[in-house]
Structure 1
Amino acid sequence: MTTTPGGTDTSSDPRTHPALYDLIFGHVYASATGAVVDHGIPDLLADGPLTADELAARSGTQAGPLRRVMRLLAERGLFREGEGGAFALTGQGELLRSDVPGSQRAAVLWATHEMFRRSAEGLGDTLRTGRPGFDAAFGTPFFEYLAAAPEKARVFDDAITSATSDGVNEEVVRSYPFPGTGTVVDVAGGQGGLLRETLARHPGLTGVLFDRPGTVTDHLLDGEELKGRWRTEGGDVFTSVPEGGDLYLLKNILHNWSDEDCLRILGSIRRAMTPGSRLLVIDVVLPGDGSPHPAVGLDTVMLMLMEGRERTAAEFEDLLTRSGFRLNRVVPTAALPSVVEAEAV
């Protein structure tokens, strides 16, 4: 029981509910995390605990404010404060370092960047107009803005790379039964991380990496193991994609777009395919019954930034059916995305 000094029971008072305060002050925790990551504090703690004075001297910050912010984040489980005021990383805090597998440093910097923050501030207007908060804040659609701002595009690209790391690709390739032979076309495949993992695990496959011309030039497919088994091709996914593939991959693409744009993308892919060839849509699949899911928050992020959305299996099936596909099955993975297998009809 929690009581006031006068003896009143406050245990059911919503004003003292921790979850409510987490929601109200969530932006404070995010900003504090972004600040310590931006100043490289987690990397400074890689070799062991340091006091706020030591951290401040090495990071060019002020010890007093730093100590207070570190204390707040220690309460959130990112750091641990020991005797003598020395701070250490927790297991969760280790992910804020720049040099560890699965590092979330880039994701933190993106989620606390003005592009993200100002888009979130516009959610009230989004509820009234349906227009993404980003468009209202910056006066242009998200991807058009990034195309004209390379330094900000890099912040976003680094975050996406962090969120869709090799670990995710490994889980996708491990979870889905790829064929032993054939040609795999990775549509809008970026630098080819997924295609590289697919070809490495299945030596009988060949591959085509397809994306914008400026993107595929920075591919990750070089290496003796894959020599002679791949090629790159530049183009526009809304217009056409390479023909002749046995299996087409589309990872983390459809959730960026409205239903109308998804139909354009899927239609472009279907025109390149022959009946019976397969398409793997690798994306988050939300539960259809409203049960909790980690990507519900991501769906709100999409609402903030662009016309995209996360979808249920039924919503994917509707898009696929309207584009000339038959949904065969949804294969879950140990990572956030699932594999939606469809067949050209």
Structure 2
Amino acid sequence: LRGRALDLGSLPSPYAAFAIRSRFPIFTRPETAEPLRTAHFMVSNACPYRCNFCSESAQLSNGLKRFKDDAIGTAVQRVCEYLSYGAESLFFDDSVFWSGRYRDIGNFCDELSRIRRTPPDALDPRYRQFLADEDDVERLRGLQWGAQLTVDTLVALHSADASADILRKMKEAGCTYVYIGIESMSTQVMDHIHKNLRREEGKPWREKVREAASLVKEQGLQLGTSVLFGLDGETRASIDETIHEVGRLIDDELIDLASPNILTYHPATPVTRAHGMHDRLDYHSPRIDNRKPYIYFEEAFPDVVSVLLTEDDIWHIHHETQHRWGGARNDAAPVAVEAGS
């Protein structure tokens, strides 16, 4: 992407033009378990990490754009705006919540907690303008939200005490769900990507994943995870190692949701060029045959998935994760819709 740097807070809210229609089943009404109407929210447009497979890196988006002037107040004001449009829950789609900066996360959570406790007539006018009636105020009081963090943020870049404190603040502000990218539980795979920072002798990546998951669960938060197959170093043995180790975390009730994904090539990412796919990507041709087993994974279809995986490997991943992870597995298969519905 090319263009001048922008303050995301100066741009119009997307939901000023588009209705909030999503219902994210991780957020539910306590009395009925009905999924809540969920707004998606970003306070930054890119990721500070440089994973070679990912198109969200700041390196590919001309820098990291985020809320600048009075970032905390602007973000909380936008929360109130989304509540006024009928949002009952929020998911922060930033690759890493507030770019992983604990001071910003803490300040945001403190301010959100404060206004949730404040009588409506005592609120700052910039918040009160969006909380015009009792329904809006009730949605603020009962707000549920979730955000994405990383294993490194939780256990490598901060102490366990600092991470526990920030997760506690998130929960007090209404957070119920944290999502992290595990990617792989195999050392031979993780050695090839820009994660597993500050590696410690004798402490493999899978132990850091377990430590991060434990921190989240100790605060009573739900934990969702993303697992990615087909990275450099992947073999059938590393696939089975990852499936088994993630299964152990599920058995130990440290993971509530595990999403298996197949590496999909995106333009300009290092892995796309390294695998010789930079001039062979075709996402739009009508000849594309999206079929099983590809439909069981988000974004995966023939000709744009990892060249390191055969179709038999993909079937194997589908069947084994379905069997080993059970109800914790997130299935991306499309739901059939009857004509006229």
The question of a shared fold, defined as TM-score above 0.5 by the shorter chain, is answered with no
More contact order relative to length (CA 8 Å, sep ≥ 6): 2
Q: TM-score, normalised by structure 1?
A: 0.29
Q: Between Structure 1 and Structure 2, whose CA radius of gyration is higher? A: 1
Higher helix share: 1
- Tell me the TM-score normalised to structure 2 length: 0.29
